[in-house]
Amino acid sequence: MSFFTFAWQWLTLASHWHGSAGVPARLIEHIEYTAIAMVIAAVIALPAGVAIGHTSRGGFAIISLANIGRSLPTLGLLILVFVLTSGASWAWLIPLVALAIPPILVNSYEGVLGVDADLKDAAAGMGMTSRQVLFRVEVPVALPLILLGLRTATIQVVATATIAAYIGIGGLGRYIIDGLAVNNYGEVAGGAVLVVLLALLVQFAFVGLARLVVPAGLRKQAQQS
């Protein structure tokens, strides 16, 4: 029996779509974990990346921090935090935030840093202050790259939030962990398919958001760069 057959048989059982352990409830939990981690990561990484890109100082620190964050083993960090916090229920949050920060930080930094110098000089020549140049010129022009960083981080967090199940928390990872524990391959396959579908939904949502908030000219320029 194939992976997709296992998944289809499990997903089409009505009993899996009701109650506190049903797909809708687990999906909401998974989205909550992702949203909380993304909000915290964005609050930390976006201002830092934009500010450093604007001043053109600290680029080496940005790249170094991003490389450190990318090299951290997410599951290992989860277990370490869980042990150090004596089994805190929020232990999943730290590794997910650590995973989300690098792409947001690097893309916001590179997006602002890469704004054409002539464009910034022209804005300053019109009498704009440094703050006005940042928010009226640099950030709008950097928006495609900033959104790309947010999209990349969100997809990574959606895929990795399954680790919350390792410490007894909910989310779609619950199906994968519980299914493996009892050799229920249908549950494992169904959980994996749901995670993939949610990641694809996030991808399409960000593509739609970019079409709404980014001018067509900037989208084409970002695709060519």
Q: Is residue 13 situated within a structural domain?
A: no
Residue 222 has pLDDT above 60, yes or no: no
Q: Is the pLDDT of residue 223 over 60?
A: no
* pLDDT bracket for residue 57 (50, 70, 90): confident
Token code pair at residue 19: 């109650």
170 vs 72, more confident:
170
Q: What is the DSSP letter of 16?
A: G
Query: Residue 176's domain spans which residues?
Result: 3-8+21-224
> Average of pLDDT values for 4-18?
93
Residue 63 has a pLDDT of: 79
What value, to the nearest 5°, has the Cα angle with vertex 83 and ends 154 and 194?
A: 30
pLDDT in tens, 139-197: 999 999 999 999 999 999 999 999 889 888 899 999 999 999 999 999 999 999 999 99
Count of domains for the chain: 1
CA distance 45 to 146: 11
**Domain membership flag for residue 15:** no
* pLDDT given at position 56: 83
Whether 183 maps to a domain, the answer reads yes
Q: For 22-44, what is the mean pLDDT?
A: 97
Residue 142 in any domain: the answer is yes
Residue 225 scores a pLDDT above 80: no
Q: What pLDDT, on a 0 to 100 scale, did the predictor assign at position 1?
A: 65
Q: Token match 């990641």: residue?
A: 199
Tell me whether residue 38 is in a domain.
yes
Q: What is the CATH number of the domain that holds 216?
A: 1.10.3720.10
Any domain includes 73: yes
Whole-number pLDDT of residue 182: 94
**Within a domain: 132:** yes
Per cent of the chain over pLDDT 90 is 68
Quickly state the pLDDT bin for 219 (edges 50, 70, 90).
low
Average pLDDT for the chain: 90
Contact yes or no for 59/52 (Cβ under 8 A): yes
In a domain, 103, yes or no: yes
> What pLDDT is stored for residue 23 in this prediction?
97
Three-class SS state of 22: coil
Q: What is the mean pLDDT of residues 93-97?
A: 94
Tell me the pLDDT band of 71, cut-offs 50, 70 and 90.
Answer: confident
The answer on pLDDT for 216 being more than 80 is: no
Report the 10 Å Cβ neighbour count for 29.
20
